Amino acid sequence: GQQVMQIPQYQHVQEGEDFTTYCNSSTTLSNIQWYKQRPGGHPVFLIQLVKSGEVKKQKRLTFQFGEAKKNSSLHITATQTTDVGTYFCAGRRAGSYQLTFGKGTKLSVIP
């Protein structure tokens, strides 16, 4: 079945440092989504990427979708304590309703 690998599992950064999480799929994806889950909370949709090579920005967050549509990344510039949480990628194959989630990257920000 489809597998989505996400690294690293944990990341501790000093406030102000940058952060990147990477997502790799075993199959070509139709689209990929990113979610953020705060401690004790539920996943909240951040963005969806659809096109090969697509890059989208949301303030300090930059999302990329690989040319082969099998990998993606989320980069946060100058982290803040409000960025704390677990970031998940979730990929969908063409013709499938199912979203397969990565195991997430838990980000801790040290003030």
Partner 1 sequence: NAGVTQTPKFQVLKTGQSMTLQCAQDMNHEYMSWYRQDPGMGLRLIHYSVGAGITDQGEVPNGYNVSRSTTEDFPLRLLSAAPSQTSVYFCASSSTGGRLSSGNTIYFGEGSWLTVV
Task: Give residues in contact with partner 1 (CB under 8 A).
Answer: 1, 6, 9, 30-31, 33, 35, 41-45, 48, 50, 88, 90, 92, 96-104
Query: Taking the chain, what is the end-to-end CA distance rounded to the nearest angstrom?
Result: 41
| Residue among 82 and 97 whose Cβ is closer to partner 1 | 97
Q: How far is the CB of 83 from partner 1 (least distance, A)?
A: 19
Q: How far is the CB of 13 from partner 1 (least distance, A)?
A: 20
Written as one letter, the residue type at 9 is: Q
Report the phi/psi class of residue 52: left, alpha or beta, with left for phi > 0 and alpha for psi in -120 to 50.
beta
| Residue among 13 and 99 whose Cβ is closer to partner 1 | 99
